Structure 1
């Protein structure tokens, strides 16, 4: 199984991936972060920002006591008031191992061995990217479009993001990422910050080609709701239209939509139409996580998402070769 995304969205997907019993998991991570600890290390050391990769390593850490100790340590941030303030231990560990081993991927793999990882974490490309967005609503005249550069700036803009680009444009994908996509029987894209964590993947031509040409079950996991800033006011349908606009050649099989977010049948018809542009069918299921009082916490529930992915894969396998199966019965 190969999962593309970044940040908290990818974290939840990876927890779900583990619950499917997948034999092998590859986390393919956006590398455009320029804020916080990651941004500081990116600027000071000229490395791929490690933050989203660190989160993926934490999500895949073993459930053993040792693995969970490492997961907690990777995520721990220093609370001092000096130069270390705000740095995540895992970011520093990845940066330090990169210098010691002379290779960023080798550093990620070394941390994965420490955490007894359930899978491998891979940068989408082997260089740090920048995100640049066309944004409206920053001036009195809403027709004026301005460029906003940087992941943090795009994610926090008060305007409406119309389109994003990555710099450098059309970079070469990490060869390890392409291999993981070719080997996967199940590929997921999303959820996550749509413009800064999800769309950057499909702006890499090699990644789009690998997904579109794959005979895996290809699934888009749609966000539970619009996000302040990036996708303020976006409907589920709009998320899919934006994805298709940024990657017109992308083809997927299923789009998972939280049923509670779209109870109205007429709205679901529009989402189905938007999904069909990508060659997909929308699937409406309960995948939201709730607190003990029954209120949504705006996160995908790993158990619910795992169940849906397992069911969809079984249906796909049955249609493909006449036998029902699960991701763990194949390559992962």
Structure 2
């Protein structure tokens, strides 16, 4: 197939539904994108670029570019639901199994890395991947340089500086503050423009300090989010029993976000109604710090620890209707 035959499907191409930008990384962003794509064709994923583990970490070390894994996951979420899209989604998500150097690498990571070398530009490479996948939306990196997450972590009797997303994600200590290295990384121009043009901005769900928080630590991106007049929502995680937030209730998640981004306002905080660590009074008080409505809805999948994309879509639809924003006809 000639490359000219591949459709150009990026955010805003069909102008069908509100202009939605969703921030995050990994499985949390995947669930949000699968939900939002039922409500609009004008969808952009803004993805963290601090991954340093697994296939992404290996490619980052060897080739020096952005880690492609979370970007690949977002593209997979936006794949067309026809045979073409489903086939290519399976291809890019496939991981090699062998006794050699390719073992553990995701095919999509290699394809993205190849496009980056060919085109010499991260966004151009991602746009070409979106064309190949017939993606319903656009995927953009939050920054134009690979980042390292660094945190001050409190352990019994001591404080330690923990560096790296893969290490922080599994820490047994209490995370006090997080920051990025470099400290003031540049945001992609296209990413800031997407925020300026958005009708809706959504943060989460996802790993709190390593997928959600980093977007608000990139100065120009954070400024654009804070200044935006779009409807702003935060989708909280289902629980905080694992890894970097094992000692935080959902209300304390919000308090930590407010400490790191005190100028941020939100319109809606969305939480699963069956969350066991909700602490309703504290969560409501924390939501009030952002000026947000606290919405409790059934969001949990039958699969342990995962959001259900259809339930998320129903919640997002109701939120948009409440905010006076129409949704696409496919719902």
Give the TM-score, by structure 2 length.
0.91
- In the other structure, the counterpart of 1:39 is 57
* Cα pair distance change 1:179/1:307, threshold 3 Å: same
Deviations 1:6-46 (A, max 9, x none): 011001000011122x1311000000000010001001000
Say whether the 8 Å CA contact 1:193–1:227 is kept in structure 2.
no
Say whether the 8 Å CA contact 2:66–2:146 is kept in structure 1.
yes
Q: 2:316 aligns with which of 309, 315, 330?
A: 309
Say whether the 8 Å CA contact 1:6–1:192 is kept in structure 2.
yes
Say whether the 8 Å CA contact 2:22–2:45 is kept in structure 1.
yes
- In the other structure, the counterpart of 1:28 is 46
- In the other structure, the counterpart of 1:155 is 169
Provide the C-alpha distance between the structure 1 equivalents of 2:27 and 2:113, rounded to a whole number of angstroms. Answer: 21
For the pair 1:206 / 2:206, whether they are aligned, the reply is: no
Provide the C-alpha distance between the structure 1 equivalents of 2:241 and 2:230, rounded to a whole number of angstroms. Answer: 30
Provide the C-alpha distance between the structure 1 equivalents of 2:207 and 2:99, rounded to a whole number of angstroms. Answer: 30
DSSP 3-state at the match of 1:196? helix
1:246-261 equivalences in 2 (<5 Å) = 246-261=260-275
1:252-331 equivalences in 2 (<5 Å) = 252-261=266-275, 267-291=279-303, 297-317=304-324, 325-328=325-328
1:171 positional shift: 1.6
For the pair 1:133 / 2:145, whether they are aligned, the reply is: no
- In the other structure, the counterpart of 1:235 is 249
Provide the C-alpha distance between the structure 2 equivalents of 1:289 and 1:134, rounded to a whole number of angstroms. Answer: 33
Tell which deviates more after alignment, 200-209 or 298-307. Answer: 200-209
1:117-132 equivalences in 2 (<5 Å) = 117-132=135-150
| Unaligned ranges ≥5, structure 2 | 1-19
For the pair 1:48 / 2:66, whether they are aligned, the reply is: yes
1:145 positional shift: 0.7
Provide the C-alpha distance between the structure 2 equivalents of 1:199 and 1:227, rounded to a whole number of angstroms. Answer: 18
Say whether the 8 Å CA contact 2:38–2:328 is kept in structure 1.
no
1:233 positional shift: 2.3
- In the other structure, the counterpart of 1:322 is none
Say whether the 8 Å CA contact 1:23–1:327 is kept in structure 2.
no
1:83-94 equivalences in 2 (<5 Å) = 83-94=101-112
For the pair 1:79 / 2:97, whether they are aligned, the reply is: yes
Deviations 1:241-273 (A, max 9, x none): 011111111111110011111598xx3122111
Deviations 1:59-83 (A, max 9, x none): 0000010111111111100001100
| Unaligned ranges ≥5, structure 1 | 292-296, 318-324
Say whether the 8 Å CA contact 2:38–2:313 is kept in structure 1.
yes
Provide the C-alpha distance between the structure 1 equivalents of 2:274 and 2:242, rounded to a whole number of angstroms. Answer: 20
Deviations 1:103-155 (A, max 9, x none): 11111111100000000000000010000111111xxxx24211010111111
Number of residue pairs matched by the alignment: 310
- In the other structure, the counterpart of 2:28 is 9
Task: Give RMSD over aligned pairs.
Answer: 1.4
Post-superposition, which runs of at least 4 consecutive aligned residues in structure 1 deviate over 6 A?
A: none
1:170 positional shift: 2.0
Provide the C-alpha distance between the structure 1 equivalents of 2:159 and 2:185, rounded to a whole number of angstroms. Answer: 25
1:228 positional shift: 2.0
- In the other structure, the counterpart of 2:7 is none
For the pair 1:97 / 2:131, whether they are aligned, the reply is: no
